Amino acid sequence: MELRVLAYLIAIVDEGSMTRAASVVGVAQPSLSRQVRQLERDLGLDLFAREAGRLHLTAAGRRFLPLARELVARADAAGALMHGLASGSGLQLTLVAPETTVADVIAPFLATQGPDDPTVLAREALPADVFGEVLAGRADVGISSGPPPAELESRSVGRFPVYAYVKAGHPLDVGPSVELAALEPYPLILLETAHGTRRLFDLAIAGEGLRYHLAFEAPVPQVAQALAASGRGVAIVTDDPRYGLRPLRIFVRGAELMIPLVGAWSGSHFAAPLIDGWVGALAAFAARRPVGSD
């Protein structure tokens, strides 16, 4: 089984046809078709069903595709590592995390790293999608609200406050914190349900037998704060303050409402021990970082 042929298989699935895949990978279509058929013979399984000139993954093909993606991604990562070591640039890792986590936690930590530390390229994803990206081999490590899948190794990065953001002079602007029940009379600007902050807030509300007035669902935290700054409600988010808003820490019967962040990666990753150490260093940085700082 050659990695090159696995890459061809992935291209066929992603492009939706043998013809487009052949153009993408730079191989003549008859040759591409022969090599995929040889892969099927080697595996002893049909990966594609060929009906009316169209290709469809069989049940076996659907099971095999994630494995093929992971093998190709790991080979690419190993190649990048060797190239980095040869050029003196060291290890390069791909990290995926929610937008707020990248902006308020990951990027500030990366700014403290030196040239001998791994080069970490961070990209954004919805919290609910982060660990799936790691499982699919499209990222080396994911940072998001837990829990991660049991198939991944993990380490706590820390717990972060959920804030109620209000304009100066708002009736709730009388101290540094607010009880959850005190939010009930006010219109709230919440993130969409794909965000861990929203799910945590909804669970806390339900656990206390409370209700809330949903003014708006915001796709990203910055928009939630912008709406709050324009007087449209109280924004419930975890990111750092913007637009002159006042951050109020939320308490439920004396316990602060906080969301956990977890780092997760594959235990079979070629750099698993190094990733473990890097996530540990990130956790130490997060513990030292002043809450709500820029």
In the predicted model, is pLDDT for residue 74 greater than 80? no
Nearest to 32 by CA among 5, 52, 55: 5
Asked if residue 99 lies in contact with residue 221, where contact means CB atoms within 8 angstroms, the answer is yes
**What does the alpha-carbon distance between residue 233 and residue 214 come to, in Å, rounded to a whole number?**
9
Alpha-helix runs per DSSP H in the chain = 3-15, 18-25, 29-43, 59-87, 99-101, 107-110, 127-135, 196-207, 221-229, 272-288
Residue 256 pLDDT greater than 90, yes or no: yes
pLDDT digit string, tens, across residues 176-201: 999 999 999 999 999 988 888 898 99
User: Quick one: 163-256 is in which CATH superfamily?
Assistant: Periplasmic binding protein-like II (3.40.190.10)
> Does the pLDDT of residue 290 top 60, yes or no?
no
Q: In the predicted model, what is the mean pLDDT of residues 283-294?
A: 68
The Cα 286–Cα 132 span in angstroms is 24
Average pLDDT on 104-108 reads 90
Residue that wins the pLDDT comparison between 69 and 87: 69
* CATH fold group of domain 91-158+260-288: D-Maltodextrin-Binding Protein; domain 2 (3.40.190)
What distance in Å separates the CA atoms of residue 158 and residue 200, rounded to the nearest whole number? 15
Residue 250 pairs with which residues in a beta bridge?
178
Quote the pLDDT of residue 212: 93
Give the pLDDT mean for 28-48.
Answer: 88
At residue 259, the 3 state secondary structure works out as strand
Which residue do the tokens 């602007």 mark? 173
- pLDDT category, 50, cuts 50, 70, 90? confident
CATH topology identical between 3-74 and 163-256: no
Tokens of 61: 């093909």
pLDDT digits (tens, 9 = 90+) for 146-162: 788 889 999 999 888 99
- Cα separation, 136 vs 155, in Å, equals 19
Architecture of domain 3-74 in this structure: Orthogonal Bundle (1.10)
Residues β-bridged to residue 155: 263
The ranges assigned to domains in the chain are 3-74, 91-158+260-288, 163-256
How many Cα atoms within 13 Å fall on the side-chain side of residue 22? 13
What average pLDDT does range 247-274 have in this prediction?
90
